Amino acid sequence: MQQPGLRIVKDGVHQKSKQSLAVNFPAQLSQFPELRYMGSKKRLLPWIHDVFSNLDFETALDPFSGSGSVAYLLKSMGKRTISSDFLNLSSTLAKALIENGTAHLDGPAMKRLLAEPANTHHFIEETFDGVFFTKEDLRFLDRISCNLRQLDSVHQQALAMAALMRSCVKRQPRGVFTISGDLSKYDDGRRDLRLSIEEHFFEQVEVYNEAVFANGRRNKACRSDAFEVDTRGVDLVYLDPPYVPRADDNCYIKRYHFLEGLSCYWQGLDIDFTTKVRKIPKRFTPFSYRKQAVEAFERLFLRFQKQKIVLSYSSNGFPDLDQLTEILHQTKSDVRVFKRDHTYHFGTHRNVKRSAVEEYLIVGQ
């Protein structure tokens, strides 16, 4: 039975077609550099935009920002945007494109980045030789990582790191760091796999430079656990936590440990040298565990009881939709659910698998 105060809308706010959803969609979004990030909402942005457009808010917080696609949408909509994630790789991406509105990698910055440094460190080459990429690629990563600290601003540094990380994702089969060694079986002739990291980097610097824009607001990127992030001044929060996995796990560190390490040159990280891919420790999140997810949502909704909440969820998540809306009702009197069919693609280029789910946007206010 439907709970009192709960409204369910199929497909969109006003049952809009995909074409009409695109009409008011900010053109800036076409510049967003996608990272093939697990759980990215990039493909759902026109629909999410439609739901946001019908809500009244000025300052938005995205505390599970991941690739930053939704924060980029919010910024494109002219909102003051605060982006946060507990991974350093995500907060670096957000520093580059959410917080930063003016810094670019110009000629002088590129000259500094590409210079042959007097004392190059060889940490990446020594640690990942035979694991990921070629020796030249690894040397290039060491060089840029060292030179990056010479750049004038933290935003230029974040831009350079974002371009470097996307270069690595493009060069690595399937964009994940769970596979290593001889990867020839994944080579389907794609240009991305043939280009060196250096060649990719030149392209990605352009891509990131073009993606930088200002929206006249003081936007912010930080690294924080969602339960600790500052909520002052925030009137809407967009929540996109990981789902309890059905079969495979949903660990971001397992897939992206190399990027997380690269983003801080592995400083302070404990590499497990007994693993083939040189893993770093997982980050605990209660949203990954069946026994803890319900309590985690209760705590999360309580934490944002003063803000409007927009939650991304999916029919393959646990707890299910009914239980989740019931929890949200404890702190919000008006709960609306927007539903939409969605197909996820995964696997290799040659062997693409699809999984059909229903996507939800749950709005509580």
Ligand X SMILES: C[S@@+](CC[C@H](N)C(=O)[O-])C[C@H]1O[C@@H](n2cnc3c(N)ncnc32)[C@H](O)[C@@H]1O
- Residues forming contacts to ligand X in the complex (CB under 6 A) are 37, 39-41, 63-64, 66-67, 69-70, 85-87, 90, 225-226, 240-242, 252, 285, 287
Tokens of 312: 């991304």
Q: Please, which residue, 225 or 249, has the CB nearer to ligand X?
A: 225
Q: Which residue has the tokens 């705590």?
A: 299
Tell me how far the alpha carbon of residue 188 is from its chain's centroid. 26
Angle at 209 between CA 218 and CA 204, to 5 degrees: 130
Q: Residue 138 Cβ, how far from ligand X at the closest point, in Å? A: 25
Query: How does DSSP classify residue 181?
Result: S
Tokens of 5: 């105060």
Tokens of 68: 């930053």
Exposure string for 175-199, b = 16+ CB within 10 A, e = fewer: bbbeebeeeeeeeeeeeebebebbb
Q: Please, which residue, 85 or 125, has the CB nearer to ligand X?
A: 85
Q: Please, which residue, 225 or 320, has the CB nearer to ligand X?
A: 225
> CA-CA distance, 324 to 337, in Å (whole number)?
11
Of 100, 297, 315, nearest to 212 by C-alpha is 100
Which residues have a Cβ under 8 Å from the Cβ of 33 and sit 6 or more positions away? 162, 166, 204, 207, 208, 211
> Residue 8: phi, psi to the nearest 5?
-120, 130
CB atoms within 10 A of CB 78: 12
Q: Please, which residue, 194 or 283, has the CB nearer to ligand X?
A: 283
Of 221, 261, 237, 265, nearest to 363 by C-alpha is 237
Q: Please, which residue, 64 or 140, has the CB nearer to ligand X?
A: 64
Query: How does DSSP classify residue 279?
Result: B
Q: Please, which residue, 41 or 278, has the CB nearer to ligand X?
A: 41
Q: Please, which residue, 64 or 132, has the CB nearer to ligand X?
A: 64
Q: Residue 101 Cβ, how far from ligand X at the closest point, in Å? A: 20
Q: Please, which residue, 147 or 307, has the CB nearer to ligand X?
A: 307
> CA-CA distance, 320 to 174, in Å (whole number)?
30
Q: Please, which residue, 147 or 241, has the CB nearer to ligand X?
A: 241
361, 51 Cβ separation under 8 angstroms: yes
Q: Residue 146 Cβ, how far from ligand X at the closest point, in Å? A: 27
